Chains A and B, each alone.
Chain A
Amino acid sequence: MELLLNQLINGLTAGSEYALIAAGLALIFGVLEVVNFAHGEFYMLSSYYLYLLMTRYNLPYVVAVPLVIVAMILSGVIFYYLVIRRVLSRSWQLQLIATLALSIVMVNTAIVLSGPVPKYLESPLNSQIVQIGMASISVQRLVVLAATAISFATLYAVLKYTRIGKAMRAVAQNREAAAAVGISVEKVGLATVVAGCALAGVAGALISPLYTIHPGMAALVIIKAFAAVIVGGFGNVTGAVLAAFLIGLLEALVTTVLPSEYADAFVFGGMILVLLVRPHGLFGRVARS
C-alpha cells in the first residue's frame, strides 16, 4: 500500500516533468506549426542555470528558482529572435534543420563549458520528508506537484482570458484570419516561445535536484515529451499534458511489478497501440485546416 502510494507520487512527479516540457512543445507547434527540436535543451539549460546560481553564486534554492525562470524568459526572447522568427514562415524542412542545429550547438556548448561529468544539486527540500499515511515522501516532490499545478493553472488563465492568450488561440486556429483582424503573428510567436521556455524552466528548476545534471540529460525526457505530444494529438496542449501524466503513471506502475528496464517498452508500446486505434492521438482533432 505504501509502496503504491510512493509509486503514485513518483509517477506524478515524472509525469509533471514530461508534462511541463510537452506543454511547451505542443504550444509552439499548435500556435506556430514549428516543431522545436531544441526544446529539451531548454530544460537542460535551466538546470545549468540553477546549478550556476547555487554553486557559483551560493544562492539558496528558493532564491535561485525564480531567477532561473527569469533567465529562461530572457533565453526564450533570444531564442525567438535568433532562430524561430527567421524560420516562422519558411518550409518545415528549414525549421527542422534550424531547431535541430540549435539543439546540437546547445548540447556541445554545455559539454565544452561544464564537461561531460554529471553534477549533483542538493535542494534542502529533498531531505525533508513528510509522512502521508504510511508513505514517506520528500517535500521536493510535493513542491514539484504544486508548482506544476500552478504553472498549468496560469497557462490556462492566460490562454483563456488575456488579450495575448486569445491572440495565441486565434493564430493557432487560423493564421490568415488572425492577420486579417490585426493580430501580429510575430508578437504572438514571441509570447508562445517565451511561455514554452518558461515551462521548460519550471521543469529544470524543480526536477533537476531529484536527478543529475549533464549535457545529455534532455535526451531521455524529450522523447517521452514527444510521445506525450503525439498521443495527446499534435498541437493539443491539454491532450499533451494529460498524456504526459499517463506516461509518468504507467512507468511508475510498470516499475512496481517489473524491473525498471521494461518501463520504456510499455510506454512506447502503449504509444504505438494508441496510434493504431486513434491515428490522430487520444485527444486529436481529425485534421487541421
Chain B
Amino acid sequence: MAGEPVLQLQDVHAGYGEIRILKGVSFAIEPGTVTSVIGANGAGKSTLLKTIFGMVQASDGAIRLDGRDVTGLKSEERLQRGIAIVPQGRCNFPLMSVQENLELGAFIRRDGDIKADIEAMYGLFSSLDAKRKVIAGNLSGGEQQMLEIAMALMTRPRVMLLDEPSLGLSPRMLDYVFSSIRDLARGHGTAILMVEQNAVQALRISDRGIVIELGRVSHQGSGVEMLSEPDVRRAYLGLPADRNAP
C-alpha cells in the first residue's frame, strides 16, 4: 500500500473557541482506500472531519490535498478541489425531491455533465431511481443515507468524508451501505474516510483504521491489524483482548 497520499494531515490542531479538541493529529490516506476513524463519544471524530472540510478552522498544522496545502481555504474551495463531506445526522433538503437534492449536490459545478452524472447516481443507487420525484423527507432512513452519499458524489470528489453513515440503519441496510462504500473506493478511486460506531463491521471493509484518543491518533494500522490489536479490541470494539478467547 505504498503510494502517493491523496490527503495528508500533519500535526493538525482545532477546536471551538477556547475549547481545544484536536491536539496534533497526523495521518495520510491513499486513493481508492477506505479508512475508518474510531474513538469514544466526544473524542473529536466529527470535529476531525469538519476540520478537513473547513467547517471548523485548523488553528495549527497543515492539511494537504494531492500535496497542496488547503488549510487556509474555505469549504467551498475545498469542495471545488475535491473534498466532499456527508455530515453526521440528516443531511439533505427534506422538502425537495430526490432529483432537486441531487441537483443541489452539484451546486458548485457549472459544466454540462450534471444531468449525466445524476443519471449515473440513479444507476448506482437503484432504490433512488424509482423515487426521483419523491420528497427527500419521505424516504426511508437508508434511502436518505444513499441520497446523501449520492449528493456528495455529485462533485466527483477525490476524498469523501462520511460521518456515521450507518446511523439508524437496519442490519440489512447497513451491509448494503458498507458494501456500496467499498465499491465506491474500489471502482471510482475515491478515498473514503469514515467515522463509524459499528467499528467491527467498518474495520472489516476498511483498508486502514485510525483511533482518536485525547485529541491525537493513538493507534493506526490496517483494518485487520486493528481488529487484532488487544487495546483496540477491548476499548473500542467490545471484544475480548485475545482474539482466540471464546
The finding on whether chains A and B are genuine partners in a shared complex, rather than unrelated, reads yes
Interface residues of A (CB under 8 A from B): 166-167, 169-170, 173-174, 176-184, 289
Contact with A along B77-108 (1 / 0, CB 8 A): 00110001111011111111000100011111
The verdict on A177 contacting B87 (CB below 8 Å), with A182-B79, A182-B108, A184-B76 known, is: yes
Nearest chain B CB to A194 CB, angstrom units: 20
Chain B residues whose CB sits within 8 angstroms of the CB of A169 once the complex forms: 93, 95-96
Contact with A along B41-68 (1 / 0, CB 8 A): 0000000000001010000000000000
Query: Which single member of B74, B87, B95, B106 contacts A180 (CB below 8 Å)?
Result: B87
- Chain A residue nearest to B75 in the complex (CB): A179
- B151 interface residue, CB < 8 Å from A? yes
Q: Which 10 residue pairs are nearest across A and B when measured between Cβ atoms?
A: A182-B108, A182-B79, A173-B93, A177-B91, A182-B76, A181-B107, A180-B85, A176-B87, A182-B107, A181-B104
Chain A residues whose CB sits within 8 angstroms of the CB of B86 once the complex forms: 180
Given A167-B107, A176-B89, A177-B148; 12 other pairs, CB 8 A cutoff: A170-B104, A170-B107, A174-B92, A177-B87, A177-B90, A177-B93, A179-B55, A181-B105, A182-B76, A182-B80, A183-B104, A289-B90
Query: Which single member of A173, A176, A183, A289 contacts B96 (CB below 8 Å)?
Result: A173
Q: Tell me if B90 and A181 are in contact (CB < 8 A).
A: no
Count, A-B residue pairs, CB within 8 A: 62
Q: Tell me if B55 and A166 are in contact (CB < 8 A).
A: no
Which of chain B's residues 4-35 have a Cβ closer than 8 Å to chain A?
none
Query: Which single member of B55, B79, B95 contacts A173 (CB below 8 Å)?
Result: B95
Chain A residues whose CB sits within 8 angstroms of the CB of B92 once the complex forms: 174, 177
Interface residues of B (CB under 8 A from A): 53, 55, 74-76, 79-80, 84-87, 89-96, 100, 104-108, 148, 151-152, 154-155
Nearest chain B CB to A76 CB, angstrom units: 23
Nearest chain B CB to A160 CB, angstrom units: 11
Chain A residues whose CB sits within 8 angstroms of the CB of B148 once the complex forms: 177
Nearest chain A CB to B160 CB, angstrom units: 11
- Chain B residue nearest to A163 in the complex (CB): B107
Q: Tell me if B91 and A174 are in contact (CB < 8 A).
A: yes
- Chain B residue nearest to A187 in the complex (CB): B76
Q: Tell me if A176 and B104 are in contact (CB < 8 A).
A: no
The verdict on A174 contacting B104 (CB below 8 Å), with A182-B75, A182-B76, A184-B76 known, is: no
Q: Tell me if B151 and A181 are in contact (CB < 8 A).
A: yes
Chain A residues whose CB sits within 8 angstroms of the CB of B155 once the complex forms: 181-182
Q: Tell me if A181 and B108 are in contact (CB < 8 A).
A: yes
Chain B residues whose CB sits within 8 angstroms of the CB of A184 once the complex forms: 74, 76
Chain A residues whose CB sits within 8 angstroms of the CB of B152 once the complex forms: 180
11 contacts between A and B (CB under 8 A): A169-B95, A173-B93, A173-B95, A174-B92, A176-B91, A180-B53, A180-B87, A181-B105, A181-B155, A182-B79, A183-B104
